[in-house]
A and B are shown apart, each in its own frame.
Chain A
Amino acid sequence: MPRYESNQTLITFIRRLSAQFSGFSSQTVAMPEGSTQMFFGRMVYRDHEISLALFTRPGDKLDCLVLSRPLFYIPDSGAEDVFEQLLFFNNGATEAVHFAVDEPLNTINLVCLRTMEGMNFQEFQYCIENMISVARNSANRLVPEFGLMRYP
């Protein structure tokens, strides 16, 4: 289970951003190394809804934070070219965040994964701002090129 300090630090960061936050709920999640307790929450910042997950990988001591923002639905056609482009972008073009696929949701997401160790407000803010910047630019570039349908 994530440490109480990580939970409180994160809530403080979200408040400092003046983002809307629903609070955390808890759920046990299975991972390759075993099951772990994960905290889930949602925040809305500058009209962007971002999911947060806080957890400790079984066998590890560091708490990890996953920020996630669904952007587009996976297209029915031409998925190979879209995926290839996203993987090219992941090769250093997106900085603090990266593209990923959420299979159950059938969406293309922007994801940021960090350990909470030593994370300060500036780094948290940088990750969020970077995510919003990439979300905006990717919509401008990928929608016309691949005809992707935006996630609401």
Chain B
Amino acid sequence: MQNIQSDQDGAMYILTSGTLLGRFRLIHLLGKGGMGEVWKAEDPRLGRDVAIKILPPEMEKDPDLRARFVRESKILGALNHPNIAQIYEADEEIPQNAVTQTANPLPISFLVMEFIEGKSISEMLHHGSLPVLTTVRLSRQIAIALSAAHKAGIVHRDLKPANIMVNAQNQVKVLDFGLARPLGSTIGDGRPILPEVTLPGVVMGTAAYLAPEQVKGQPADMQTDLWALGCVIYHMLAGHRAFDSSSVPEILAGILRDEPESLLKVNTEIPSSLAALVEKCLAKNPEQRPRSAKEVSTTLRDISHQLRYGKEGPGKRTISEEAEGSIFAPKAANLENLNRYLKMVSPDYPQLPPARTGPAFIEVTHRGVKVGILVTAKAKTGLDLIAFISPVFNAPGENLAAFYKRLLIFSNGHSDVGQFALDPESGQVNLTSIRICEYLEFREFQYTLDAFSRIKAQIAAPLKTEFGIG
């Protein structure tokens, strides 16, 4: 396999399998587009495969673009997110073992990135639309990636199915963040680069995802990415692009003028909430689109729950036979006993009210921590349950798998008598502890209240810092 690359003076390199760029040995060409060519390469120092993106010759010639390439690479290198392909380094080297036609070859600029084994969404769409739940799960990860990038001040500008990889674990990796500016957007001086959209092979894949403001040559911002996300979701659900035609001018005219066919007509399995979200992303006026990628990811989470659990939501499901059955008012003797405990902990604490038809509930502030105490009876066992519940914080908008895992690791005996839980209605993380009233002694009651303040200080506070929860 070989490919021709020219340096700044137009000197020709023929890159082949085995060409060395610094310490990286090229293995084979992965793809080629308006942003240059991408090779799979080997990093012998770290013993891993990487993807190398080589700056295209026309960008090499422009000192401004080269400077921005380096600058943006540095910003992107600092962006470490599980749903964004990691950039390891940017460098420039004279290729070794490549065929060159000049005596004084100049170095070429390249970017070393995480190599992702998997398929692009573009490849997945070769067989038609994707299942609705799969689309929601993938879209949510894309929205989370966009949210992280936007938070860092980075706009993608060229989000499209070909730039989104899905690995074997169904984990999304968004590629080409911030590097796509010359395609379909404006560069620093406001000069539109739309003519490049007509590059052969780049045309359809890019034009169909351009936002109206990009078509008009206006600057791209975060809302531009949300338009593109809407286009990608539409494509995954419908199996065809929202704006499609055989010619680029017609596609661009359609983006400015037309409304895509309603998703509800395309596929009856698509929930109306999902169709509405896509429609909102595809608002011609950027101000009418969702306010942020985080808002999109939150909406997609709710839609995912709706699809998985039905309208009643996940909170109505039980998994314990003891938990099944109607909830009744707890026994007066148990409430009396618990009120005695409360008074023993502090005479100032409120007392549980008498309960005749349902659970009894109060809230106390113990050692600076708010703890709700809920007492219920379960028909099946005849026992009364007491639940200590303390809201900790809201789940972060991103990196949820790692966050949830940490909560569950802490619940494996490290969080004392408390356990972490998610409130399905609010998405809030709670610290909870459930006991049987009939078996609860005063010292255990007091121990549980004390443990909550200890857990919040020792576990919850560092978690907030680690995951950047406000």
Contacts and interface: CB of A to CB of B under 8 A. Distances in A.
Interface of A: 32, 53, 57, 60, 62, 64, 66, 68, 76-81, 83-103, 108-109, 111, 113-115, 117-120, 122-123, 126, 130, 133-134, 137-138, 141, 145
Nearest to A145: B308
A131 to B, nearest CB: 10
Nearest to B317: A93
A123 B409 contact: no
Given A87-B407, A118-B441, A141 B412 contact: no
B320 A134 contact: yes
B320 A88 contact: no
B421 A87 contact: yes
Interface stretch (B45-53, B106-114, B247-255, B422-430): B422-430
Nearest to A88: B314
A66 to B, nearest CB: 5
A95 B413 contact: no
B116 to A, nearest CB: 14
Contacts of B439: 118-120, 122-123, 126
Contacts, number: 158
Given A87-B404, A89-B319, A96 B434 contact: yes
Given A88-B421, A89-B319, A79 B444 contact: no
Given A91-B422, A115-B417, 17 more contacts: A62-B447, A78-B169, A79-B405, A80-B401, A91-B421, A92-B387, A93-B319, A93-B320, A99-B411, A111-B412, A111-B419, A113-B419, A115-B447, A117-B441, A118-B441, A130-B322, A145-B308
Given A100-B419, A141-B319, A62 B443 contact: yes
B444 A84 contact: no
Contacts of A114: 417, 444
B167 to A, nearest CB: 9
B137 interface: yes
A93 B314 CA distance: 10
Interface in B398-414: 400-401, 404-405, 407-409, 411-413
A90 B422 contact: yes
B97 to A, nearest CB: 37
Contacts of A88: 314-315, 317, 421-422, 424
- Which among B404, B409, B440 has the greatest number of chain A C-beta atoms within 10 A? B404
Interface in B278-325: 304, 308, 314-315, 317-323
B420 to A, nearest CB: 7
Given A83-B401, A134-B319, A64 B417 contact: yes
Contacts of A89: 317, 319
A88 B301 CA distance: 14
A133 B443 contact: no
A134 B419 CA distance: 16
B420 A87 contact: yes
A108 B436 CA distance: 24
24 contacts: A62-B443, A62-B444, A64-B416, A78-B137, A80-B400, A81-B308, A83-B405, A85-B314, A86-B404, A88-B317, A89-B319, A90-B432, A91-B430, A91-B432, A96-B434, A100-B419, A101-B411, A102-B409, A111-B412, A113-B413, A120-B439, A126-B439, A130-B322, A134-B319
Nearest to B408: A101
A120 to B, nearest CB: 7
Given A78-B170, A115-B417, A87 B408 contact: yes
A101 B405 contact: yes
Contacts of B170: 77-78
Contact of B424 (A91, A94, A96): A91
B168 interface: yes
A117 B451 CA distance: 15
Contacts of A120: 439
